[in-house]
Structures are given as structure tokens and as C-alpha cells.
Chains A and B, each alone.
Chain A
């Protein structure tokens, strides 16, 4: 490769990386734009981390947005206030004969258990941290209980580089997951 080509190569990489970042920054907001959160960041930025069982739901308007309120029973808790039930708000739903579809917003199933990373705003409403990033399904592998989350199809940005990043399917043994959460919290993840 010639020196000139190397310079071109470097310049292309640098500029295209920058512009990919810029393009991602400006990605249209048809449904949602996510900011990628690692497991440690999820743990640190959530105000509650709970294993729950979904017991009911209803939807209502909050201003101009419809939120579905999912009533969940807390089965196990790693972070957050000690409450037996929580109401989690997820955008989209049907209320007053109207519907809102928010691509990327997960839907829960009543009776099913999940591991949830939750964030409670100053107004007291509780949401999933990072939309679908904060919801893990529980399942069984051949030998262990596992938690998993499918990759989100929504635009996702790295919050350091603001570069568009690709989300990936996530799966981990439940015991390992809870150990990671506990370890993060014990190292100053906050309570």
C-alpha cells in the first residue's frame, strides 16, 4: 500500500467514522432512539432491579402519550425500595378507543416472570431502564435457569462516541447474572 493510499485510508476511516456517528445522531425518531447501556450501567442507572411476575395491566393517557401500566408482583429484589408490587409504565397501548404503537416498546405477558431493570422519575412513575434493554426473559437451558433479551431493532447509539451500534442478543445464566448485579452494587452501584 502506498503512503498516499495509507493517508487516504486513514482519512476515510476517520471521517466516515465521524460521519457515521453524526448520521446516527441525526437518525430520525420514528419510534425510539436508544442509548446503549452495558449490564453494569443498567445496574447502576436503574433505581430498582427486581424479579417479577406480571399480574395485570391497563393503559391510560399521560399527556398525549398512552402508556400501558403493567402491575407486577416482586419475587426477588436486588435494588430499590422494598415493595411487594410495582406498576411499570411502557409506552404504547389502547385507551379511550385510541391506539398508539411504539416500535421497540416491549409487551409483557400476564402470568410470566421477568427480570426488570427499572427507573423511577421524580414524578414517581416507573419505567423500564433503556426501554427493551431493561427487560430480560427467564427460561431454562439444559442445566440452568437463564435470562435472555433479544437484540433491539431500534437505532442504538454508544453514549461515549455517539456512534450507531448494533445491539446483540443477550443470554446469561441466571445465577451469573444475579452475581454480576450483586457485585456491581457492592462496588458502589448505588442503592
Chain B
């Protein structure tokens, strides 16, 4: 076979720089025509994103037709919250932001994502989602990749069709799923959010599963892998490698994490939390809807085809499968499979359902308290003409089990299965996995059953009390139940199993919002298909016109700046406010609500942004004020001082930025000896300054909260920025042994010792401090407080026991934290 010279050169270049990550469910290009196959993914270039943040927008055209009780603000809240889901993955270095509305055709130098509703969709086509990526790879710190420049989710403008209505859990999970695609993830088969809706088993309050977190973290790693393990191996059929087989590590009662095989059958699953796992391999279903990897010439490398699924080690019976123990930081290699080819995939696309009267839920949620339950399953290969597929059996990988004879077929075309489940005396809540076996073939459905201790919540009435709060009455409310108004979680206080008191999110007079109660076990009040759906109508009959002003409304390329926002007939509310500027070149990095009509935001404009105008969208709950061309980017200003709006404690980062703290400020053109800095008009003492970094002392008289920092480099003022000042943390006075002798080099502590640490500033005088609020760290080792006692009216004595595994040395840092506030360290001697 002849390989073009250019492609060979590319391959060599890639081979030298490529990441060692396995072929997860990313959009993959292979770097060579032969083994070893080095997958190069398509992903966003973090170095091209402001603050490593990709922004997702919604087209200002919006949907033109809505179902009853649905609206554009509801769509916007769902998209906004879906971005927060991906933004919240701590082990991913990619941040995700919602940028509000944008005008079609808005150009930006920065990559981003768009949700588009329009009429340019021909009959017979409901929606298209795709992303644009470069044709040539680049190399970053984590290896080579093809940069994604734009992602588009293209819908018809009629939301009465798929995937509406926007207030449903299904719409929300679909948006989370689609944004996952936009970020570079493909479908997986572990019932996580990146699975198709047929098998997906995640829920509103916890939309991501371990597989989703592993997927995004592998693509954009940040401190990822240290606490997880790896499995590697090969899948072969007749001695030849099987391409695009789905290999899954599945924990009983827990989650599944997976990868696809390379063309030679090799695979690597990273990001597996420690524990005991079953490993199994399955073929891709015909409905996988996965874009095949591309070869050096951009041609798709197709999957190898169907085969029989098996557990490791080649067991078609789960009872003969071997449990693989996964440890953090350890790769379990040689988990190989030898599979038998088939003409077609025997079983796939299995969904499970549970029933509540005439209503049903997918996946099957089962209250195990009664001791038995029946669920239904539907899927390809389970049966036909009202009969089970010959030889089909089913079992549960978990603590539930099938009753004898508890697998029955119903219906004709299609044919469904009823599974009669029973539960042991000791049954945990959470996922249980279903295993279907058929003539040597194994099909595993992770989380096919969700065990619960109660039936789903229901709502019988929604009323308003004298204070204006909403009272939701129903059944099966849990202490951690959350009430949603359309797609927004409201401030919820659960009174008892039947009552919740709720403060509605900011809304619009006359607006009707659908009310749903979500329990943390995944169940929600829509399971019972209430009719009519419970709803709340905001007081008033017509919404007064709102307006918003921005100052400044023009910023140059490269700027970091505070923008002052004032609203009329708006109700800015902390936690419900989102501001976007309709261009991927303008990133909102923080929002501070000062009053119902006054807020501040920090904005970062891309260094390479071109002059442009864009939307300003100010959202508070369901209140949306969007103004076209309300924000402008102007040409970059040479030598403009630029202040990065993040201060860092220069002594001990976890202690934060508090009055009196010594902190570092970074930026560009910051000046030197003539530089002045004020924070809320109080002068900050500058310890040293360079063009890119300044050390300063936060004025001691500052009050905690948002504060405006202004810098002049001696000739020019930077745009002011908002910084957050936190309360002063506790301060360690002494660390003593139980004999009240100070710990020192001559009186070192030892692992297992009981120590007393005296601190000030822990809490107010006479306050009650539960030990559970107080955390101690010694050399990075987290230690619970044993007791917390106030002494002398101003100080607190905390007693704790050093772990046996605590690090030893002459200068072991010890800190005390309460409610997230962490002291500066005291350095103590700990001898072995």
C-alpha cells in the first residue's frame, strides 16, 4: 500500500508528540496505518480560549413555536444550566460558560458553540448537530489534537416537536448531552449522559456519570488520573484485532467506564475509581451513531463488525467472570478478550421501564421496600412474536435477583419482557446492572435498574402563603428534594415528606412555570404523568418593560474590565443571574449582585478579537433583557495596563484573599515603582512590582465581599476589575502536646499523637462550633477535629489525633479550616 509522502511526514510528527490516551469515545484520527495506533482527538485548544473557557450561545432567532407553558427564557435557563454541568467537572481543565443570545453571523476569533433554531431545515429532517475542526493537527502540552473551532446544534424553530418542551428533564439531559458532543465527546454505552436516550440512566440532579467525567477529563486533563486506575488489553477475533469494540469496566452497585478498541484491538480505559470491577466487551450496536475514526487520508476506519459479547476472561456466564481489582495509579494490563464473530449484533438498544399505575418511567426505578417488583424491558434481540429469544436468560449484577420463572415475553411486534425482581434483606439504593445472555452472547445494560427506598414524589397542590413563598404539597418528599420551576432549581426548604416551602426564581408577571420535585435518588414528580401538570403563575398580569444599561459598553481587545450593570424593572438575584455578550471573544468571568437592580461583572476580551458589536443578554431567573449591538469590542490599545482579575494569596494559596493578606496580582504593563493600587478606594501597600506581577497587601480595613481594584502604572490607568475579599481565616497561635508543651524540633510530635492547637478568629465569642465544621491538615493529610472548645473568651482549643500515615519532617505544614476558610500554616516537627 502506498502512503502519500505528506501523510507519512504527518504521521511521524504526530507519533513524536501524540498523547498516550486510549481511543475513548472522542472524535479520533489515527496517526498511522499500522500498529501502534495513536489516537489524535478533536478538541478545543485551551490556549485559544480566554481563561480556558468555551462559551455556548443561543441564536436570537429562538424557537418560533412553543408547547404550552414553554418559553425562550426557559430554553435559556436550561442551556445555561447545562453549561454549568460541564463547567463543574473538577478534573477537566476546560471551563464552559453560557453567553446568552447571539445574532446569526456574529464573527469571533475565539472558538465557541451555538444553539440555532431556524426555518432552513428541510422536510424530513428535525435537527443536525456537528462541530467544525481544523484539517491539520496542532500540539499542546497534552499531545496532538485537531482544534475544534465551532460547534453547532441546529434545530427546527418549532419546539412542539423534538426535543421540546424545554422544561422537561429529557430536554435538559439532551442539552447536556449535545454540549458533550460540542466539547468533543461521542456516544458511549454505559448508560451515562453521553449514551443515547434509549439506555441513558442519569437524572436531572446528577446528570453526569463516571464515564462522562472520565471522558471530558481525558480530553482536557487537570490533576486527573492520580486517584484512578487503568485497564489495558486487546480484543481479538480469530487472532485478528477487533476495531471499535466497546470495553467496559463495571462496578457492581456503581458506575461503568469504557473505551473503544484501536484497529489492532488494543484498548486502554483510564479514569477508573479504585474498586472491584467486572470487565466486559460488546460490539457497537448498528444504532451507535458514532463517527468512525479517520485515517491519515481522512477516510473513515470502520468498526470490525459484530461479535459475541463476553465478560473477562471470555466468559459468557457472568458467574464465571473474574473480578478485576483496580487501584489508584496502577495499570492492570493484559485484560485480553478473544471473541467469536457474528453476522449481526444479537442484542442491543435495551430500555427498561417501571410503572406507576398507567404511568411509567425510564430507566426502571424500583422501590425495594415491598420486597418484589416487576419491570419491563424492550430492545432488539430480546424476543419476537410474543416469545423470548430462544435460550435468552437474564440476571442482575447486584443485590436484586430474578424470581424463578421471572422472565416473560409479552406483545407481538414488538415483543417486550417482564422481569420479576426480588430483593434481599440488605439492599443498597442505587444502580443495578442487568445481564442478558443468549447462546454464548452477553449483553450488559449498566444501571438498568435504579433501586430506591420510596416511590417517586408527587405534587397534589401548589399554593402561595402569606409571605409570597410557594407551598408545594404532595408525597414522598425527601430531606434533599429540590423543587424546580421549569428548568430552574428554586430555593427549597423541605418541611416534611408532604410539604416544601419554596422561593420562586425571579420571573415575569403572568408567566406560568411548571413545578417539578426532584429527589436525589433520581425520581421526580413527572414520573406519575400528572395532568394537568402542576404549575405556578407569577403574580401580575403584564410584565413592565425592562431596561439595562452597561458601563462601559465598549472594551478593547485584550482588556479585562469591570462592567457596571443597572437594570429597571429587573430583579437581579444572586445565584440566578447570568450575563453574556453574544460573542465568543467576550467572556464574562464573574457576576456580583449588589442589589435587585445593580450588578457588576468582570469581562475578558480576547487578545486577537476584531472590532465588532454584539448582544448583551442579562438574565435573572426567567427575566431576560437582551439588546442587540449593546456591547462593542474596539481595537486593542497598545501599552494598556491589563489586570488579571484574580488575586492569589502569596503566602498560602488556600488562605484566600482577606483583609491584611499579602497577595499577588498579575497582568500586563503593570508598571513598577510608580504603580498605585486601590481597592474600594483604599490604598494597597505595594511590596514589589514588575510589568507582569505585583505583590501587595490587602488593606486591613476592607470589608469582605466584592471590591473594585484600580491600578495606575504611573502613566495610564487600567480598567477597574472586581475582586472578591473573603473573611479572615482563623490564625494558629500554638501547637502543643497533651502536656501543654509546644511542639518543636526538640519536642516533635509523632504519628498517632494527640495534639492541641490554639487558634483565634475561629468563630464569634460564645458561638457553638461543631467539630465537624473544623478540618485540620498536616502535610496534606486531612484530619478531623476531635473537640473544639473556646478558651479565654477569644481563642479556641482544637484537639485532634495525628494519623499514623501523617508525613513526617522538621517543617510539616499544619492548617486549620472552618467553613472553607483556611489558616496560614504553622510548621511543626513530626518525628517518625
Contacts and interface: CB of A to CB of B under 8 A. Distances in A.
Interface in A111-166: 119, 121-123, 125, 127-131, 133-134, 153-155, 157, 162
Contacts of A36: 124
Contacts of B298: 99
A97 B138 CA distance: 13
Interface stretch (B169-177, B254-262, B483-491, B494-502): B169-177
Contact of B289 (A23, A63, A119, A153): A153
Contacts of A99: 132-135, 298
B134 A34 contact: no
A121 B135 CA distance: 30
A183 interface: no
B759 interface: no
A97 B291 contact: no
Contacts, number: 187
Interface in A53-81: 63-66
B709 to A, nearest CB: 37
A63 B104 contact: yes
A156 B55 CA distance: 30
Contacts of B353: 12, 15-16, 19
B360 interface: yes
Interface string B120-131: 101111111111
A52 interface: no
B45 interface: no
B289 A103 contact: yes
Nearest to B178: A29
A11 B290 CA distance: 34
Interface in B141-180: 149-150, 152-155, 161-163, 170-171, 173-174, 177-178
A116 B350 CA distance: 36
A74 B154 CA distance: 30
A27 interface: yes
A102 interface: yes
A170 interface: no
A176 interface: no
A18 B360 contact: yes
Contact of B123 (A26, A64, A102, A119): A119
B608 to A, nearest CB: 17
Given A9-B411, A97-B134, A19 B124 contact: no
A20 interface: yes
A33 B122 contact: no
A37 to B, nearest CB: 5
A42 B124 CA distance: 8
B124 A63 contact: no
B360 to A, nearest CB: 4
A174 to B, nearest CB: 22
A94 B134 CA distance: 9
B565 interface: no
Nearest to B153: A29
A12 B410 contact: yes
A25 B291 contact: no
B122 A129 contact: yes
Given A12-B416, A31-B128, A94 B162 contact: no
A14 B171 CA distance: 23
A130 B362 CA distance: 29
A29 B163 contact: yes
Interface centre among B119, B154, B418 (most CB of A within 10 A): B154
Interface centre among B114, B162, B353 (most CB of A within 10 A): B162
Interface residues of B, number: 63
Contacts of A100: 130-133
A97 B132 CA distance: 10
Contact of B125 (A16, A18, A34): A34
Given A26-B171, A99-B135, A121 B355 contact: no
Interface residues of A, number: 62
A125 B118 CA distance: 13
B123 A130 contact: yes
B7 to A, nearest CB: 16
B122 A128 contact: yes
A172 interface: no
B187 interface: yes
Interface centre among B127, B136, B181, B291 (most CB of A within 10 A): B127
B360 A16 contact: yes
A103 B291 contact: yes
Contact of B132 (A66, A131, A153): A66
A91 B116 CA distance: 15
Contact of A22 (B105, B161, B170, B355): B170
Interface centre among B123, B163, B173, B358 (most CB of A within 10 A): B123
Nearest to B408: A5
B186 interface: yes
B416 A30 contact: no
A155 B351 CA distance: 16
A41 to B, nearest CB: 8
B135 A98 contact: yes
A8 B362 contact: no
A137 B486 CA distance: 47
Contacts of B290: 103
Contact of A64 (B133, B150, B411): B150
A189 to B, nearest CB: 13
A16 B170 contact: no
Given A19-B360, A26-B174, A98-B133, A32 B163 contact: no
B351 A162 contact: no
Contacts of A65: 128, 130, 152, 154
Interface centre among A13, A24, A66 (most CB of B within 10 A): A13
B119 A121 contact: yes
A30 B360 contact: no
B187 A30 contact: yes
A17 B186 CA distance: 27
A105 B171 CA distance: 24
Contacts of A34: 124-126
Nearest to A91: B128
A28 interface: yes
Interface centre among B132, B134, B136, B362 (most CB of A within 10 A): B132
Contacts of A31: 128-130, 289, 291
B378 interface: yes
Given A12-B418, A128-B122, A101 B291 contact: yes
A131 B126 CA distance: 10
Interface in B88-129: 104-105, 114, 116, 119-120, 122-129
Contacts of A8: 374, 410, 418
B686 interface: no
B286 interface: yes
A1 to B, nearest CB: 10
A92 B410 CA distance: 43
A11 B376 CA distance: 10
Interface string A83-101: 0000000011010011111
A164 B56 CA distance: 29
Contact of A28 (B119, B131, B178): B178
B196 interface: yes
Given A63-B116, A130-B124, A153 B286 contact: yes
A184 interface: no
Given A12-B353, A27-B197, A130-B124, 11 more contacts: A12-B418, A26-B171, A28-B187, A35-B125, A64-B152, A65-B128, A98-B149, A101-B130, A103-B291, A153-B287, A157-B162
14 contacts: A23-B362, A29-B128, A30-B187, A31-B129, A33-B126, A35-B124, A97-B134, A101-B291, A127-B122, A130-B123, A134-B122, A155-B289, A157-B126, A162-B162
Interface of B: 27, 104-105, 114, 116, 119-120, 122-136, 149-150, 152-155, 161-163, 170-171, 173-174, 177-178, 181, 186-187, 196-198, 286-287, 289-291, 298, 351, 353, 355, 358-360, 362, 374, 376, 378, 410-411, 416, 418
Top-9 shortest CB links A-B: A130-B124, A26-B170, A15-B360, A119-B122, A45-B123, A33-B126, A127-B122, A29-B129, A28-B177
